[in-house]
Amino acid sequence: MKSIQTQIAENLKTIRKLRGYSYDQLASLTGVSKGMLSQIEKGESSPTVNTLWKIANGLQVSFSSLVEENKPAVSVVRLHEKNAVMEEDEQFQVYPYYPFDSSKKFEIYYIEMKPGCVHISESHHGNVEEYVLVCEGETTVSIQEVSYVLKKGDSMRFQASQTHTYVNHTNGFTSFYLLIYYS
């Protein structure tokens, strides 16, 4: 993990370069001397909270955008590195791929169902949609006594404000991705 001083240096430099500002322009916007800005970017100076606020206000960015570690541009999820949450005697296994992120308003899971598995999902509160994308096998999704049979390559979207059921009626293994969107 990077030091806070290094993180601030990298974030400030990235923002300044993306906007095409010189140190003179940045100093004019923020009220912080160009010498101090240069030292901060080089990681030679640890700015005070007050200085960071001046920079954030001048750039019109959040304070946290200067101090938080940037998320990598690429994120790889490997199934064998995930731990499953299991239900129904290990018949229904849920692998959290991308947990809920309030800035994106969704989460993604990979789900495996053994033959004969029945999973009842309670209704979700609010305006929530589920997206199902079948990878292998066949799954039946039932909503209000209406059943939809989905096979490999099929997908569906539905409002998840009512109880819904996932069933593997086959003698084979079923897997699908589930994206839950919170609008």
pLDDT tens per residue, range 6-37: 989 999 999 999 999 999 999 999 999 999 99
Specify whether the CB–CB gap between 125 and 86 falls below 8 A: no
Identity of the residue numbered 16 = R
Q: Where in the chain is the domain with CATH 2.60.120.10?
A: 79-182
CATH superfamily of 79-182: Jelly Rolls (2.60.120.10)
Residue 73 predicted with pLDDT over 80? no
What pLDDT was estimated at residue 82? 87
Separation between Cα atoms, residue 81 and residue 71, nearest integer Å: 19
Residue 84 predicted with pLDDT over 80? yes
Separation between Cα atoms, residue 81 and residue 97, nearest integer Å: 10
CA atoms within 13 A on the CB side of 133: 8
Residue 105 predicted with pLDDT over 90? no
What pLDDT was estimated at residue 49? 86
**Tens digits of per-residue pLDDT, 113-163?**
999 999 999 888 889 999 999 999 999 999 999 999 999 999 999 999 999
**Tens digits of per-residue pLDDT, 106-115?**
999 999 999 9
What pLDDT was estimated at residue 122? 87
CATH superfamily of 4-67: lambda repressor-like DNA-binding domains (1.10.260.40)
Q: Kindly report the backbone phi and psi dihedral angles of residue 41, in degrees, each rounded to the nearest multiple of 5, phi listed first.
A: -60, -30
Q: Where in the chain is the domain with CATH 1.10.260.40?
A: 4-67
What pLDDT was estimated at residue 93? 92
> Which helix (H) or strand (E) covers residue 99, if one does?
strand 92-101
Nearest to 67 by CA among 79, 77, 53, 81: 53
